[in-house]
Amino acid sequence: TQLLEQSPQFLSIQEGENLTVYCNSSSVFSSLQWYRQEPGEGPVLLVTVVTGGEVKKLKRLTFQFGDARKDSSLHITAAQPGDTGLYLCAGGINAGGTSYGKLTFGQGTILTVHP
Amino acid sequence: KAGVTQTPRYLIKTRGQQVTLSCSPISGHRSVSWYQQTPGQGLQFLFEYFSETQRNKGNFPGRFSGRQFSNSRSEMNVSTLELGDSALYLCASSLVLQAYNSPLHFGNGTRLTVT
């Protein structure tokens, strides 16, 4: 069973600060997806990384997939109150040639950005 | 394009009762997955349906069941409700079976409270 551990569980910061959320596993994943969930809504996909060492940027958000494809990080620069939400990482396995297999989700990081 | 629609948004039930939740996927999406989300356990995979057949199943008791109709709409049923079943139930659709490199599109969930 592949497990994903996210840290920290909770993060409370002031507007303008930088932060990093980590997603770690002892297993190798074929991909890492990051989702953000706002209160009262379902998770929304932010990014998918599939190559070891890959870095993707989405405005003030930077996502990195570890070289060994066992970990990933999400860095937010100059956080804003609109970044508040639950951030979830999800690992996927390329099961042979079919690519089928359920995603494994981390427990999530609750981020609160105060004005 | 309409998103994933889940009904009802809120449900309050009593222990021992049963409940049916509904999910309409994005038009053209053939896979529907169900998740249970609680503060303590995070996002737990229940099952996935594709072409009216259950293709993947998580580690939940047999009280949790589902089905998918020919139009890809899905229902989830929980029988003999227990207090611990109180949770947000999320439905996610995708074009094909869950794959390591394809996104899940979530609905806004059904909040079930068991008293």
Reading the block at residue A81, the tokens are: 């109150």
Q: How far apart are CA A6 and CA A73, in angstroms?
A: 9
pLDDT of residue A103: 85
Under 8 Å CB-to-CB from B71, ≥6 apart: which residues? Answer: none
Percent share of chain A, pLDDT over 90: 82
DSSP conformation class of B26: P
**B43 interface with A at CB cutoff 8 Å:** yes
H or E element, residue A113: strand A109-114
Reading the block at residue A23, the tokens are: 């997603």
List the one residue out of A45, A39, A40, A23 whose CA is nearest residue A89: A23
DSSP conformation class of B18: -
Minimal Cα distance from B90: which residue of A? A42
CA distance A102 to chain B (A): 6
Reading the block at residue B59, the tokens are: 């580690």
Alpha helix stretches (DSSP H) within B1-115: none
How far, in Å, are A1, A25, B63, B75, B100 from residue A91 at the CA level?
Answer: 12, 9, 27, 26, 7
pLDDT of residue A98: 47
Q: How far apart are CA B33 and CA B55, in angstroms?
A: 10
CA distance B81 to chain A (A): 23
Q: How many CB pairs under 8 A join A and B?
A: 73
Per-residue confidence of chain B (115 residues) as pLDDT tens digits? 679 999 999 999 999 999 999 999 999 999 999 999 998 888 999 999 999 999 888 899 999 999 999 999 999 999 999 999 999 999 999 987 777 778 899 999 999 999 9
A98 torsion bin: left (phi>0), alpha (psi -120 to 50), beta (else): alpha
Output the 3-class SS for B32-43: EEEEEEECCCEE
pLDDT band at residue A2 under the 50/70/90 scheme: low
pLDDT of residue A36: 97
Minimal Cα distance from B47: which residue of A? A102
Alpha helix stretches (DSSP H) within B4-101: none
CA A14-A17-A23 angle, 5° bins? 105
CA distance A19 to chain B (A): 22
Give the B window 46-105 contacts with A, CB below 8 Å.
48, 55-56, 58, 90, 92, 97-105
**Any idea which residue has 């060994």 for tokens?**
A68
Under 8 Å CB-to-CB from A78, ≥6 apart: which residues? Answer: A16, A17, A18, A60
